[in-house]
Amino acid sequence: MPGKVGFIGLGAMGGPMALNLVKAGFSLVVNDIDEAKSRPLKAKGAEVAGSAQAVAAAADCIIVIVETTEQAEAVIIGAHGIIRGARPGHIVVCMSTIDPFTAQSIADRLAAVDVAMIDAPVSGGTGRAQSGELSVIAGGAREVFEKCTDLFAAMGSQSFHVGPLGSGLAMKLVNNMLVQVNTVAVAEALVLGVKAGLDPQTIYEVVRVSTGTSAAWELRVPRIIAGDFEPGGTIDISYKDQELETAFAKRLGVPVLLANVT
């Protein structure tokens, strides 16, 4: 188990993830650009730091889960970033969904000052972030991953080491692309069936035990039938992820026609 753990980014995903770490007995020092988001953690005994640099100076392992690639760069290697406060032997766990090539560049900068990094994005949404049942998908040195497994167990029900640094992000983008494309297909199929005169509940029951089923079908259709359109996230983040997917595919020379349509 690491010593003090730093946690930067206390939004819809990061907030409950950090709370689960506190519940598991980890000593936390936290930071968020919105000071109000630190209050629930402070109430549970976490320290609050005024910058990413201050978090790094107080912790041995620093988790980052901010929204964008640009934010991750600023928090980790910016003017008041982790790199300014971290010491040799520290570990940065980048759990943000960001560009894999940029993640490698950030890791190289950290390695130059003897700070290790792994990319470890999560899948499961806000509900599983709250329940501690996320999937953690990590890339980086195996020995660094092994040092973080206690942390991952407190935040998720499964953790995977999928290859060298950047592999966790590549895997996350593959997964996100599939669920986004499937979600559009689910909406089109359901409307088609209803317009054909089929009962939506019947459509759901038949498809879920047939070859057309998917996680998107199981998750989305009951909520659509119930008229429950409460968002589990924001459109700008979903759009950001889709831009990452298509840009990553372009860099690799892979045509992703459905992802572009979605």
**Residues designated as active site:** 172
CA distance 260 to 113: 39
What is the residue whose two structure tokens read 């999928």? 162
194 near 125, Cβ under 8 Å? no
Q: What would the two tokens of residue 72 be?
A: 């991750």
Residue 170's contacts (CB-CB under 8 Å, 6 or more residues apart) are 100, 139, 162, 248
CA distance 229 to 127: 15
141 near 119, Cβ under 8 Å? no
43 near 15, Cβ under 8 Å? no
Strands 156-161 and 61-64: unpaired
Between the CA of residue 37 and those of 42, 144, 164, 207, 238, what are the distances in Å? Answer: 9, 29, 33, 41, 22
What is the residue whose two structure tokens read 């901010």? 66
CA distance 208 to 193: 14
Q: What would the two tokens of residue 37 be?
A: 């988001």
